[in-house]
Amino acid sequence: MTLPEPAVLVLEDGTRHTGRAYGARGTTLGEVVFATGMSGYQETLTDPSYAGQIVLQTAPHIGITGMNEEDSESHRIWVAGYIVRDPSRVVSNWRAESSLDAGLINDGIVGISGIDTRSITRRIRSAGSMRGGIFSGADAALDPDEQLRMVQQAPQMSGRNLSAEVSVDVVTVTTAVGERLGNLAVLDLGVKQATIDNLAARGFEVHVLPQTSTIEDIRAIDPVAVFYSNGPGDPAASDGHVALLREVLDEGLPFFGICFGNQLLGRALGLGTYKLPFGHRGINQPVLDKSTGKVEITAHNHGFAVEAPLEGSFESPNGYGLVEVSHVGLNDNVVEGLRALDIPAFSVQYHPEAAAGPHDANYLFDRFRDLVIATQGDKN
């Protein structure tokens, strides 16, 4: 059997791991992060929130179920690069339409296999997320000093605004399922298809708007509420989206944000954000819902978080009344949700649609629908 071409992973601290090419050949640069899910690799790969990131799968055996059109969260693979230990040599699933390797090649995603992913994960956990590069095929033979120079000159994730790379260019509409509640304005910062489907299932006519949209664009669809999606990048670099959200809140429109949308709600309320050492990525993160006392296992993909007091309520620095932290991550006490007490707005830092599971947090879409109905009742 002919072995794949060589490949090397280079981290910005000079660490090197030699393995085999997987996916497309060439060079790719990005922030190296690890995802802890034991399943759902296709949903991870096609999640726009991973733009600019080289994703390492901590589960050792990846690719056995192949790829299919139905499970994709968007129209393409978004990761900057892919790191796996033992890629499956066969595809064994009745729903598979292609292999994972073929999917990576089709979308031009450079990957590496056959390296010690546990060692890399432990290094990132201790040193923090760092820039890296995968060099495969002929590029694996580049001078090591040149490879390291390329990695160290790659852009940092802090300060990057990636919304324009992942957002739609024109408005798309998904019809409401069942009893129609009204038009919902979704600002696309990297929205996943499962999110759109869950919102439509609650009776919303889902209008996915480009990230360049203005308050006039939102008003034009006569929305009953506004939703900010997940997405990649640093929330501190999204001043325009924060300003738009403040206009939304000033108009009294109900608001729900997830992941990046949670960070932007925090900023709109007047709170700060910061970069986590190595982030939360995977489908096994325990979160406490403070309103019910229940612990939920949730799906995460975020490298930034909101700064806020975990106990009690506090005044919004930007004048939106009382606010409280609604959800807390139990691994490290990170803010995982916000709830405004005097205006109809809340958000969570994770993914309640969780297409690859678990579904403990799916009730949040019902909570949003109930908030919209209650707000409409108050206006009447």
Q: Which residues neighbour 378 within 8 Å (Cβ) at sequence distance 6 or greater? A: none
- Give all strands (DSSP E) within the chain, no chain letters: 6-11, 16-23, 27-35, 53-57, 61-62, 81-83, 86-87, 110-113, 130-136, 172-174, 182-187, 204-209, 223-228, 255-258, 273-289, 294-306, 313-315, 322-329, 335-340, 345-348
* Catalytic center residues: 259, 351, 353
Q: Which residues neighbour 364 within 8 Å (Cβ) at sequence distance 6 or greater? A: 256, 348, 352
The radius of gyration computed from the CA coordinates of the chain, to the nearest angstrom, equals: 21
d(CA 64, CA 101): 11
d(CA 232, CA 228): 13
3-state class (DSSP) for residue 262: helix
Task: Kindly report whether the peptide bond that precedes residue 144 is cis, defined as omega within 30 degrees of 0.
Answer: no
